[in-house]
Chain A
Amino acid sequence: MMRTMTIRVLAAALSVAAAGCSSKPSQPAAPAYTPTEAEVEAEKAGTLSALAPANLNKARPTPPFDLTSNWFIDVSQDPKAWHFFLEPYPKLTPAAQKEYDASVKYDKEGKVYKDDIGQCWPAGMPLIMTRYWPMAMVQKPTAIYMISGFMNSVRIIYLDGRKHTDPDVIVRTYNGESIGTWEGNELVVDTVGFRGDHHWMDQDGAAIPAGEKLHIVERFRMVNDGKQLEIAFTMTDPDNWEGEWKSTKRFNRVVDTDIQEVSCLPDLNAHIKSTTSKTQVFQ
Chain B
Amino acid sequence: MRKVLWSVVMAAALVAPAFAHHSPAAFDRTKKVTLVGTVKEFRWQNPHTWIEVEVPDEKNKSKLVVWGVELTSPTYLVRAGWKSNIIKPGDKVTVVVNPVRSGEPSGIFVSLTLPDGRELFERPARLGTPDSK
Residues of A within 8 A of B (CB): 71-72, 74-82, 107, 110-112, 115, 117-118, 123, 131-134, 149-151, 203-205, 251-254, 256-257, 260-264, 268, 271-275, 277-280
Most chain-A Cβ atoms within 10 A of its Cβ — which of B11, B21, B106? B21
CA distance A271 to B52 in the complex (A): 8
Contact flag A271-B75 (CB < 8 Å), given A118-B23, A256-B132:
no
Chain B residues near A76 (CB, 8 Å)?
8-9, 12, 129
Chain A residues near B111 (CB, 8 Å)?
none
- Is the Cβ of B50 less than 8 Å from the Cβ of A277? no
- Report B48 CB to chain A, min CB distance, Å: 6
- Is the Cβ of B127 less than 8 Å from the Cβ of A204? no
Contact flag A79-B128 (CB < 8 Å), given A204-B24, A273-B100:
no
Q: Which residue of A lies closest to B14 (CB)?
A: A79
Contact flag A257-B75 (CB < 8 Å), given A74-B128, A132-B19, A272-B21:
yes
Q: Which of B22, B73, B133 contacts A117 (CB 8 A)?
A: B22
- Is the Cβ of B108 less than 8 Å from the Cβ of A79? no
**Chain B: interface residue count, which band?**
35 or more
Interface residues of B in 8-29 (CB under 8 A from A): 8-9, 11-13, 15-28
CA distance A22 to B19 in the complex (A): 51
Chain B residues near A263 (CB, 8 Å)?
46
Give a binary string over B94-133; 1 marks a CB under 8 Å from any A CB, 0 the rest.
Answer: 0000001110111110000000000000000101110011
Q: Which residue of B lies closest to A82 (CB)?
A: B16
- Report A217 CB to chain B, min CB distance, Å: 25
- Is the Cβ of A205 less than 8 Å from the Cβ of B46? no
CA distance A273 to B102 in the complex (A): 11
Q: Which of B22, B46, B73, B108 contacts A118 (CB 8 A)?
A: B22
Contact flag A277-B26 (CB < 8 Å), given A132-B20, A151-B47:
yes
- Report A232 CB to chain B, min CB distance, Å: 19
- Per CB-CB distance, the 4 closest pairs between chain A and chain B, nearest first, are A252-B128, A118-B22, A273-B106, A273-B68
- Is the Cβ of B132 less than 8 Å from the Cβ of A257? yes
- Report A73 CB to chain B, min CB distance, Å: 9
The verdict on B43 contacting chain A, using a C-beta distance below 8 Å, is: yes
The verdict on B91 contacting chain A, using a C-beta distance below 8 Å, is: no
Give a binary string over B64-75; 1 marks a CB under 8 Å from any A CB, 0 the rest.
Answer: 000010100111
- Is the Cβ of B104 less than 8 Å from the Cβ of A278? yes
- Is the Cβ of B73 less than 8 Å from the Cβ of A262? yes
- Is the Cβ of A279 less than 8 Å from the Cβ of B46? no
CA distance A162 to B101 in the complex (A): 50
Chain A residues near B50 (CB, 8 Å)?
271-272
Q: Which residue of B lies closest to A279 (CB)?
A: B26
- Is the Cβ of A205 less than 8 Å from the Cβ of B25? yes
- Report A41 CB to chain B, min CB distance, Å: 42
Give a binary string over B46-89; 1 marks a CB under 8 Å from any A CB, 0 the rest.
Answer: 11101010000000000000001010011100000000000000
- Is the Cβ of B43 less than 8 Å from the Cβ of A277? no
Contact flag A271-B46 (CB < 8 Å), given A71-B128, A277-B106:
no
- Is the Cβ of B75 less than 8 Å from the Cβ of A274? no
Q: Which residue of B lies closest to A270 (CB)?
A: B68
- Report B35 CB to chain A, min CB distance, Å: 13
Chain A residues near B11 (CB, 8 Å)?
79
Chain A residues near B52 (CB, 8 Å)?
271
Contact flag A274-B27 (CB < 8 Å), given A79-B15, A82-B16:
yes
- Report A134 CB to chain B, min CB distance, Å: 6
Given A74-B128, A112-B25, A279-B100; 7 other pairs, CB 8 A cutoff: A76-B9, A111-B101, A115-B23, A117-B21, A254-B127, A272-B70, A273-B100
25 pairs across A/B with beta carbons < 8 Å? Answer: A71-B128, A72-B128, A107-B25, A111-B25, A112-B23, A112-B25, A115-B23, A117-B23, A131-B20, A133-B20, A204-B25, A252-B127, A254-B127, A254-B132, A257-B127, A263-B46, A271-B52, A272-B22, A272-B50, A272-B68, A273-B106, A274-B108, A277-B100, A278-B102, A279-B100
